Chain A
Amino acid sequence: KAGVTQTPRYLIKTRGQQVTLSCSPISGHRSVSWYQQTPGQGLQFLFEYFSETQRNKGNFPGRFSGRQFSNSRSEMNVSTLELGDSALYLCASSTGDRQETQYFGPGTRLLVL
């Protein structure tokens, strides 16, 4: 089976712009979670989608949003980018069983200038 794929892999934006990141889960997986990884804060949970519904949401401002499509692919959007949004954004998929492990994609490295 192909692994989790994320596009784009690298992105440079300027403050105030918006960005959309994409994640394709492992075939058959219905749950997609998004994380922000920074050197200082580690891995922080953004949100989780299961069958097109947001199942959990982390403690991030409303500028961060996401959605999931019927084929389980997911996108996350960050509007009005700030310098502090520079990070590695990781997507992880699982079958949907809450106790299951997560399979991470390679991430999208976002740099905000």
Chain B
Amino acid sequence: GQQVMQIPQYQHVQEGEDFTTYCNSSTTLSNIQWYKQRPGGHPVFLIQLVKSGEVKKQKRLTFQFGEAKKNSSLHITATQTTDVGTYFCAGRRGNTPLVFGKGTRLSVIA
């Protein structure tokens, strides 16, 4: 079945450093979504990418969808302590359910 791999599993950064998490699917995706889960919280939707090669920005966050629609990345510039949490990618192929990666847990040291 469809698999979504996400790396790294953990990332510790100093406040102000950049952070990137990568997502790779075993199959071509219709779209990819990114979610953030704060410690003790629930996943919250960040963004959806649909088009091949699409790049979207939200303030310090930059999301990319690969040309082949099989990989994606989330880059955070100049991390802040408010960025702490686990970032999940989730891919969908056609009408199949969303498949989530296992997430990247980000720790930010002030």
Contact = CB atoms under 8 A, between A and B. Distances in A.
Nearest to B44: A104
B43 interface: yes
Nearest to B101: A42
Contact of A99 (B35, B92, B100): B92
B98 A103 contact: no
Interface residues of A, number: 22
Interface of chain A: mostly helix, strand, loop or mixed: strand
Contacts of B45: 101-103
Contacts, number: 49
B33 A43 contact: no
A90 interface: yes
B47 to A, nearest CB: 9
A60 B100 CA distance: 16
A1 B50 CA distance: 27
Contacts of A90: 42-43
Interface string B73-110: 00000000000000010101001111111110000000
A43 B88 contact: yes
Interface of A: 33, 35, 41-45, 48, 56, 58-59, 90, 92, 98-99, 101-107
24 contacts: A33-B97, A35-B100, A41-B102, A42-B103, A43-B100, A43-B103, A44-B100, A45-B98, A56-B96, A58-B97, A59-B1, A90-B42, A90-B43, A92-B43, A99-B30, A99-B50, A101-B33, A101-B45, A102-B45, A104-B35, A104-B42, A104-B43, A104-B44, A105-B42
Interface of B: 1, 30-31, 33, 35, 41-45, 48, 50, 88, 90, 92, 95-103
